[in-house]
Structure 1
Amino acid sequence: MGDNFVMQASKIAAVVVLYWVTSISMVFLNKYLLSSPELRLDAPLFVTCSQCWITVALCLVMRAIANVWPAQVHFPHLDLSVDILLQVLPLSIIFMGMIAFNNLCLKSVGVAFYNVGRSLTTVFNVIMSYVLLGQTTSLRSLICCAIIIGGFWLGVDQESQHNSLSILGILYGVLASLCVSLNAIYMKKILPLVEGSIWRLTYYNNINASLLFVPAFLLAGESSALLTFNNFGHISFWVVMLASGCLGFSMSYVTGLQIKFTSPLTHNISGTAKACAQTVIAVSYFHEVKTLLWWTSNFFVLLGSSSYTWVRGMEMKRAQKDFMDEVRTESLEKENESA
Structure 2
Amino acid sequence: MKQNQSLLSKYIVIFFVVSGYWIISISTVFVNKTLLSDLDLDAPIFINLSQTLITALICYGKKSLSKLFPSKFSFPDIDIWDKQIIKSVLPVSIMFTLMIASNNLCLKYVSVAFYYIGRSLTTIFNVLFTYMILGEKTSKKCMICCLVITVGFWMGVDQEHFSGSLSVAGTLFGIMGSLSLSLYSIWTKKVLPKVNGEVWALSYANNVYASIIFVPMMIFNRELPVIVQYPYLQETFFWGILLGGGICGFLIGFFTSLQIKYTSALTHNISGTAKACAQTVLATYWYQETKSIMWWFSNLIILIASGAYARIKQIDMERKHRQGPFSKV
| TM-score where L is the length of structure 1 | 0.92
Residue 257 of structure 2 corresponds to residue 256 of structure 1: yes
1:28 counterpart (16, 27, 30)? 30
Residue 240 of structure 1 deviates from its aligned partner by 1.0
CA distance in 2, matches of 1:244, 1:194: 28
**Aligned residue type for 2:44:** P
Q: Which moved more, 1:146-155 or 1:59-68?
A: 59-68
Residue 10 of structure 2 corresponds to residue 8 of structure 1: yes
2:19 counterpart (17, 20, 40)? 17
Deviations 1:131-155 (A, max 9, x none): 2222221110001001110110000
Q: Which has the larger radius of gyration?
A: 1
5+ residue gaps in structure 1?
Answer: 328-339
Q: How many residues align?
A: 325
CA distance in 2, matches of 1:116, 1:73: 41
SS at match of 1:278: helix
**Aligned residue type for 1:183:** Y
CA distance in 1, matches of 2:75, 2:117: 35
Q: Which moved more, 1:167-176 or 1:68-77?
A: 68-77
Q: Is the 8 A contact 1:265 1:310 kept in 2?
A: yes
Residue 71 of structure 1 deviates from its aligned partner by 4.0
Residue 73 of structure 1 deviates from its aligned partner by 3.5
SS at match of 2:56: helix
**Aligned residue type for 1:284:** Y
CA distance in 2, matches of 1:205, 1:326: 38
**Aligned residue type for 1:112:** A
CA distance in 2, matches of 1:197, 1:28: 30
SS at match of 2:137: coil
Provide the residue aligned with 2:58 in structure 1: 58
**Aligned residue type for 1:81:** W
**Aligned residue type for 1:165:** L
**Aligned residue type for 1:16:** V
Matching of residues 279-290 of structure 1 within 5 Å: 279-290=280-291
Provide the residue aligned with 1:79 in structure 2: 79
Deviations 1:41-94 (A, max 9, x none): 100011111111111111111222333444444332343324122432222111
Residue 192 of structure 1 deviates from its aligned partner by 2.6
CA distance in 1, matches of 2:303, 2:231: 40
CA distance in 1, matches of 2:23, 2:127: 29
CA distance in 2, matches of 1:80, 1:132: 26
Q: Is the 8 A contact 1:63 1:78 kept in 2?
A: no
Identity between Structure 1 and Structure 2 (%): 45
Provide the residue aligned with 1:330 in structure 2: none
Q: Which moved more, 1:48-57 or 1:119-128?
A: 48-57
Provide the residue aligned with 1:135 in structure 2: 136
Deviations 1:177-214 (A, max 9, x none): 00011111111222233222111111111111111111
Residue 325 of structure 1 deviates from its aligned partner by 8.0
Provide the residue aligned with 1:93 in structure 2: 94
**Aligned residue type for 1:8:** K
Residue 246 of structure 1 deviates from its aligned partner by 0.7
**Aligned residue type for 2:92:** L
Q: Is the 8 A contact 1:60 1:78 kept in 2?
A: no
1:318/1:191 CA distance change after superposition, 3 Å: same
| TM-score where L is the length of structure 2 | 0.95
1:324/1:213 CA distance change after superposition, 3 Å: closer
Q: Is the 8 A contact 1:105 1:173 kept in 2?
A: yes
CA distance in 1, matches of 2:7, 2:96: 40
CA RMSD of aligned residues (A): 1.6
5+ residue gaps in structure 2?
Answer: none
Residue 58 of structure 2 corresponds to residue 45 of structure 1: no
SS at match of 2:289: coil
CA distance in 2, matches of 1:315, 1:271: 20
**Aligned residue type for 1:64:** S
SS at match of 2:324: helix
